[in-house]
Structure 1
């Protein structure tokens, strides 16, 4: 049996325990956008630290202006191995309206759905399930003799509210978090049976635009059409940001951006993506 087969076998053997641990984490209502749940966010962070320490990681919470970060490190027995940094988040979205839930959102359970069995509970799919998947993989590797590479973990508690503390934290802890490779397990799945590795994510930019028009309220019956309406100017600006094919028209926007390799495009085409079906439910 290959080494990785041993690890997979241990993951399968540990399934009941892994589910029990996931359930404990999902039971914590770590809603980052609600100040009433700040203590729950701290509790989720401390729970993760205790779990990682039990696995032999050096782990601790790190304070921020908002909810705490969880940082953990463990080394492989070999020295000629890469260093991997894994990112996840322990905070979850609010649960309102509660009357649309078939069961309490923080009482996780296993249900039989048309596409197969699944864990249902707030955060089970974003991002506590993915986070614990990586933790359980590390557990299996350690039980099989040790980690295959040096591993660091960074779990934040503010992803669902825009990660306001993350940039400053990364800048202040750059040396500690330096790694050869970073893994983010907070992306989508193609389907239940098709493995996928996400290598690109959409970016985000925010700008404030000020459009100055008249210096006082104007009567539309007198000035309408003659005076420039700032909302019309803004509408033209927004409309001109993209061309008919959806490409950004801002000069220099694509400078330094590599074109999609044809081999990657071909892999995508083999997925038989159906845009009508994809958009059919929305």
Structure 2
């Protein structure tokens, strides 16, 4: 469909009804982490299936060992139209502490906020019920206007995202042929600011390692043995200090294999966003950037790999003072990966480095804590360019392509298990208080999010 104006008009005209549907879904207490709400999670899945069937989707509730999945399919307007898989989650975080909420978290409403804004309040309005419904309501606007969808659409909604998605990988493995599409669409991210939509083109990967250094067979008196016996805290400190050189680069052999420089035009675009060390670090009481020298804070957090120490234990840490040489010391270390860095090679390099620093009469053990590669959509991807143009047509400011310092496991699963790239477009704002009391979603984000998906689907379907 080349003329999308009627669809956009329909989407905006239908906002009151769209809000009522969002309210119905938010009222369902689909807290996945608490077994007491198991029935509510199923109720949310069934509600979504009913809505999708009303739009002509072949939609079903699929049981898992945990909470059910929702899978739905709809043909596109043309046989050669692209096939997209849209992902979202219907489960929500617990609401504790309840006394910090200004309103009932499961009784949503549209309320006035500062600056003349209108916000939708309630648990899940931003993460992720309001977000996933922007796509469903965009499909509704198409069906009510054109009678069909411009693309072939498969929908996957899960109910365990907030509790670690234990059923997701087995479900993807068992249903890979059914869920495989040309690419995935994920709406569980944020805008750059209230007027600037964002596409997340990169997600850093992750490797976690816990190391335990053991020396003597018991804690030792530091007067009797100090200066002669190996101190595992000293050994551990030396290991951790040696992970970086004086320029902030990680020293592991081969660590930067697969790390590519961010294109100059992308870095220039990031500079225009106005984020600085002062603005980013000032919020947490800091001002001096760490990490590799000569790089912006956005490049450091979005496009460069890291080695971070997340915890250290060893020796006496109770009240008062105890002069001992500990028998063992441990640390938890994580690596954020970018580009084509291989998690297995990073883990092997780290372990080899640690072993090289441990004296012959001491020992080290390792405990792995996850490992996933980075995800990077090519900056010159036609998929990205189409979505960027569509979003820029809808919002006051042009869409920006950003990175994300964290990881979204489902995106890696789509790439690894289904061979699909993912387009991450979300309409949340940084002050939506997701996972916290008084969660909210901007009414403007809800309406323009629906209209944005109308535009994106049209752009993706264009020949």
Give your verdict on TM over 0.5.
yes
Aligned residue number for residue 184 of structure 1: 186
Displacement after TM superposition at 1:235 (Å) = 4.6
Which digits, 9 at most, give the CA deviation of each residue in 1:171-216, with x for residues without a partner? 2211111111111111121111112222222333333434333333
Aligned residue number for residue 135 of structure 1: 136
Q: What is the correspondence of 1:57-72 to structure 2 with a 5 Å cutoff?
A: 57-72=57-72
Moved more, 27-36 or 249-258: 249-258
Instruction: Indicate the SS of the match to 2:120.
Output: strand
Instruction: Indicate the SS of the match to 1:199.
Output: strand
Structure 1 position 23 matched with structure 2 position 35: no
Aligned residue number for residue 168 of structure 2: 166
In 2, the alpha carbon distance for the partners of 1:245 and 1:70 equals: 49
Q: TM-score, normalised by structure 2?
A: 0.56
Moved more, 95-104 or 34-43: 34-43
Moved more, 85-94 or 157-166: 157-166
Moved more, 236-245 or 26-35: 236-245
Higher relative contact order (CA 8 A, sep 6+): 2
Aligned residue number for residue 122 of structure 1: 123
Task: Work out which of the two has the higher radius of gyration on C-alpha atoms and give 1 or 2.
Answer: 2
In the alignment, structure 1 segments of 5+ residues that lack a partner are none
- Against the structure 1 CA distance between its residues 220 and 261, is the aligned structure 2 distance closer, same or farther, given a 3 Å change threshold? same
RMSD: 2.4
In 2, the alpha carbon distance for the partners of 1:242 and 1:165 equals: 38
Q: TM-score, normalised by structure 1?
A: 0.90
- Against the structure 1 CA distance between its residues 120 and 216, is the aligned structure 2 distance closer, same or farther, given a 3 Å change threshold? same
In the alignment, structure 2 segments of 5+ residues that lack a partner are 285-463
Displacement after TM superposition at 1:244 (Å) = 6.1
Which digits, 9 at most, give the CA deviation of each residue in 1:55-80, with x for residues without a partner? 11111122222211111111112011
Structure 1 position 209 matched with structure 2 position 211: yes
Structure 1 position 97 matched with structure 2 position 106: no
- Against the structure 1 CA distance between its residues 231 and 194, is the aligned structure 2 distance closer, same or farther, given a 3 Å change threshold? same
Instruction: Indicate the SS of the match to 1:204.
Output: strand
What is the aligned length? 282
